Structure 1
Amino acid sequence: MARAPKAGTPAVERDYAELRSLLLAPEQSRLEQLQEQVEHLDLNAHNLNRVLPEAIALRGETDHRLTHALTPHVSEALGVSVRKRPHMIVDAIAPIMMPAIRQAIANALRSMVQSLNQTIEHSLSIRSMQWRLEALRTGKPFAEIVLLHTLCYRVEQVFLIHTQTGLLLAHAAGDAVAVQDQTLVSGMLSAIRSFVQDSFGATPDQALNTLQVGDLTVWIEQGSSAILAAVIRGTPPEIFHVHLQDTLDRIHAEHSDALTRFSGDAAPFTGTTPLLEACLRTQFETRRRAIAPMTWGLLAASIVGAGWWGLSAFQDHQHWQAYLDRLASEPGLVVTSTHSAGTRYVLTGLRDPLAADPDVLLQGSGVAADRVEAKWSPYYALDAAFTLKRAGIVLSPPDTVRLTLEGPRLTATGAATAEWIRQSRPLARLLPGITEYDDRRLVAQSLEALVQRMAGVWILFQQGTATIQSPEQLQGVRRISALLYQLDDMARLSGATVMLEITGQTDVVGRSSRNQRLSEDRARSVLEALHPATFSAITFHARGIGPAAETSPSLGAATLPQDRRVSFQATVHPAS
C-alpha cells in the first residue's frame, strides 16, 4: 500500500507524492509482498516438489558430488529393502539371471560329459598308459592329452570383424576354452591382415586367408563389409571353408544396413551370435579300434571274480542249508523262519531247555558265527527222551527207583521212601506230556523191602527176664519203631493193611510151662514199648512160642543168645 505524504511537506512535494501514489501504488504493493516472501522464505516440501527433479538432473550433469552423497543412503535403503522384502529382488533379477544360470550349467555339464566320455573310452588301453605318462611328464590333465590325440578338429572361437574399421562386431567361443580379450584379438587379426597387404603389395582381392599359431590355425573368410575368422585346433576338412563362407554371406544379407552404417556400436550385431555358434564344430576320430588287452584282462578278472563270488555264495548257501538240516534233525529244536539280511542270516525258532546248544552245532557247520542272528523262544518238547529226562530232573528219584515212559504214562518201579513217594505223585502230574503216573509196583516193592528188613531185626533178652532195660534192647526197639513208621506210611499210601506178628521165644532151660509164659511176657513187653496205637495201618499180634523148635533139649546150659529173642513177621494185605 502507498505511503501518505507527511504533514508540513511543501505543496509541490505533496503533489508529486500524491501523483506517485496514484501511478505506482499497485506495483509498490507487489514489490513489498515479494520482498516479504524473500525475507521469510519457507523451503517446505510443497515448495520443493516442483523443482526437485529438475534440480537433481541439473546437478548430476555438472559433477558427481550428488552421486557420492546419495550412494551410502541408497545402498543402505537397498539393503533394508532386500532384508524386508527379498522376494522383490528375486522377482526383479530372475528374468535376467535364470537363463544365464541355466545356460552356464548346461554348458558345464555338456563339457564335463564330453570330457568324461573321452577319458573313459581311452582309459583301458596300452596307448592310454602312454598318454598318462605324457600327462605326468607335461603336467597337463589326462583329459586334455586324450583330447589332443583323438581330436580331428575343433573350432574354438569365431570372430566377426568389420572390414573398414577392424572393430569386433560379434564373438563366439566353445565350452572350456580360455577366452582372451576379444577386442584385442580382433585388432591383432586386422593389423596382421593390413601388414600382409602392405608388405607384399597384395591387391584387395588377395588377402590373408590362413594363419598358423602353434597348435592353432586361423581360417579367415573375406567379405565386402565384414571378415569371419575361425580359430581351429586340429585339421578341419576343406568343406568347412564353404560353411564359413555361407555364414558370412548370410550375415551380409541379413545385416547389410547395419554393416553399412556401422559407427562403432556393435549392439545391432547381437543377433549374429547363433550363426557364429553354429560354426563351433568338433569332430573326433571315428575309426574302430580293437579292444585293448587291458580291457580283456579286466573282463576276464570280472568273470573270474563273478565266478568266485557265485561259488562262494553257493558254498555259503550249502553250508547254511546243512546247518538248517542239522537243526531240524535235533530233537527239541524247531526252526520257524529264516531269511537273509545283507550278508547275515536271521533265524527264529523254538528251543527246549534240554535240547542241544545251537551255537555248538554252528561251530562245525562252516557258517561264521557272526553272520547268524538267532532268536530262540523257549518251549517244552514232548519227545519221549525229553519227557523222561525232564521227569528225572524234576522228581530226582533215588538210585533204587527206575522211571519208564509208555506214551503219556510214567511208571516208577523199585523201592523208595514213603516221603519220596508222597512228594513225587503231585510233581509227576505237573510234568508236560505226562497224563498218568503209576507207582504201584514201586510201593509194593518198598513194602516188601520193609517187611524183609523187619524180619531180620531181633530183640535179645537175658536169661529168665522179660523186661527191656539194656541199651541194646532199647536200640532194637527204636530200630523196629522206625521201620514201623515207614511201613505204616507205605501202607497208607498204597491203601493196604499190615498185620505184624511179634513172637517171643526162650531157651530150653527151665520147665516148658514157665518158658511159654516167659516168651509171651517178652512179646508183650516189646509190644508195649512200640506203642501200637500210633500206627493206624498196622495191626499187632503178640505171642510166645517157648523154646525154638530147632533147639535140642540135650544141649542143656549151652544155649545161644538168639534163643532168647523176640522176632517180627509182617504180612501185607493189599487194598481190595
Structure 2
Amino acid sequence: MPEDGGKVDPLPEELDSAPNVKQGPSGLTELRRLLVGEERRRLEELERRLDELSLTPEELADKLPDAVALRTARDKQLARSLAPTLQDAFSESVRHNPQNIAHAIFPILGPAIRKAIGETMAGIVNTINRAIEHSLSLRGLKWRIEAWRTGVPFAQIVVKHALVYRVEQVLLIHAETGLLLAEVTAEGLTAQDADLISSMMTAIRDFVQDSFDSGSEEKGDLRTFEVGERTVLVEQGPEAHIAAVVSGQPPGSVLEQLQATLETIHLHFTVPLTNFDGDATPFEQTRPLLQECLQTVVATDRPTGLGLAPRIAWVAAILVVVVLASLAFRSAQRWRAALDVLEDEPGIVLIELERGWRTWHLSGLLDPAAAEPMSLLARMGLDTTRLEARWNPYVSFEPSLILARANRMLDPPASVALALGGDTLYAAGSATPEWIAGLVRSSSLPPGVIAVDVSGLTEILPPELAELKDDVEQHRIQFAIGSVALDATARAILDDVANAFQRLRDVAEERNYEAALNIVGRTDTTGSNETNRLLSQQRADGVRSILAGRGIQGVAMNAFGVGTSDPLSSTSAIDQARINRSVSFLVRVTFGTDRGGTQE
C-alpha cells in the first residue's frame, strides 16, 4: 500500500487524460517513453503470443532439430512413424527424377552389384565342385546306389550324409495372440503343421515364463528347444516372434539372421502388427523376408578319395556318353521332323511307327497321286536304307490330289487349265471341239469330282472350218435409216452368205461337226429403245426369211434384235451409226451333239 493515504500515482496514460494535469508540449511524452516504453513493448509481445498459442514457423525451425535428436535418442518410434512418409516421398522422387536417384546411389550400387556377382559366382563354383566331387567319387557312386535302391532322390541322399545344418521351416507368430501370421518351408520338403507348431511354441513359452518367474521385472525368454532330431530357434520381439525349425547343428549366425529379419518386419509392418485383428493377409508380404532365412549348408571339405587319373577317366567317360547321347538325340529329332513331313503330306496316312535296333518300320496308307515317301525322306537327308515301309493304297479326297488325278485322267492340252471348286471341276482356256465333247460325254470322272463345267472353254476349230466360219461372219447387211427394206446389194450379199454357210455345213458334217447360224439385228441410236429393238428384230427376221428361201433349212438359225444394247464400235460417230444399221452373222460350230455348260 502506498504511504500517502493509499493513493496511487497515475500512469502515463492517465496523466494524458487527467483534466487537472497540466502537460507540457513534449517533455512529458519523452519522460513517458523513457520510463515505461520497454515494459510496454514486452507486454504487447506477451499479449500477442498468448493470443496465438502456437509456434511460428521461425520458432519451429529453431526447435525442430533438437526435438528430433531428443526423440531419436529415446526410442525408434519417430523412425517408425516417419517411415511410410519417407517411403512415399522416395517413391515419388524415383518416379519423377529417376536420373537424380541413380546418380545419388551410384557409389553404393556399383560395389553392391560387384559383391553380389562375386558371391553368386563363388556359389556356382562351389556347387559345381560339390557336384563333381559327389559324382566322380566312390562315395558318390555309393550314394547313387543307395538312392536307386531306396527310391529316394540323389539330392536328398547327399543332404542326408553331408548335411551340416538346414533351416527347413520359418514361422512368424503374433506375440500377444500366438496366432500364425506367415510361414515358409524349404523346397522339396513336406511342411509341418505350422498352426500346430505355433500353438505348441506359445504353450511352451507360457509354461517357461510361469514356471521360472523370479518375481523380477525381467522375464526369461525361450530361445531354443529340441523336438526329436530338429531344433527350434525362437527370436522374440515386442509385437511378433519368429521361429525356425532346423535340422543339424545351426551356428549362431542363424539366430543373428532371425533377429535381423524380425527387426526388419517390426520396422516395415508396425501398423499391421499393432492393429492385428486376426487377419493375416497383410503379412503375406513378409514371405520374401522369411524365405531368406531358409538355407542348407553341407560339408564340402572332405577328401574325394580319387586321384587325378581316375577323375580324368570319369570325365572322359562322361564326355563320351554325352556325345553319344547328343548324336542319338539329333538323329531322333531328324527322324521326328521327317515323320512330321510325311504326316503333313497330302495322300499319306502314317498308321504305325516302330523303331528296331538299326531300322525304322513304317506302315500306312498311300494315295497313288501322292508324292513318293522315300523321295521325301531322302530330300531331308535321311538314310532310307534303314527304313522299311509298307503302304496300302487308298483314295484321298484332298483337293490337290483330286486335281492331280483329274489332270492325269483327262490329259488336258496345254491351253486348258483345270480348277476345283467343291466337287465341281472347272475347265478354262481353249481346246478342240473333239476334246471338249469327250470331256462332256465322259462317263468316268475322277474320284471326288461330281460335275464338270466347260463354260469357260473356247473351241479351237480345224483350219478349214475356221476359214469357212470367218467367211460367213465377215458379211454384214446395211440398211437405210429407219428402214427394213433390202436393196439389190444386200440381196447379193445374202446370196454369198447362203453359199458360204452351205459350204461350211458340208465340211462340218464330213467331220462330225454341227453348225448353227445366229442372225443379229442392230440400229443406230436414233429413236427410243423400244422402237430400235422392234426395228432390229424386224431386220433380223427379214434376213432369216431370205436365207431360208436360199436353201438354208433344217439347221438351227436364230434371229435376234438387240437394238442399241450391243453396238458395233468405230472410231467415227458417223461411221458407227452406219455400221450399226445392219444385220451381222455369228456361226456356232460344235462337235457332235450340242454341249451344255455343265456335265454331271
State the TM-score, normalizing by the size of structure 2. 0.30
* Bigger CA radius of gyration: 1
TM-score by length of 1: 0.31
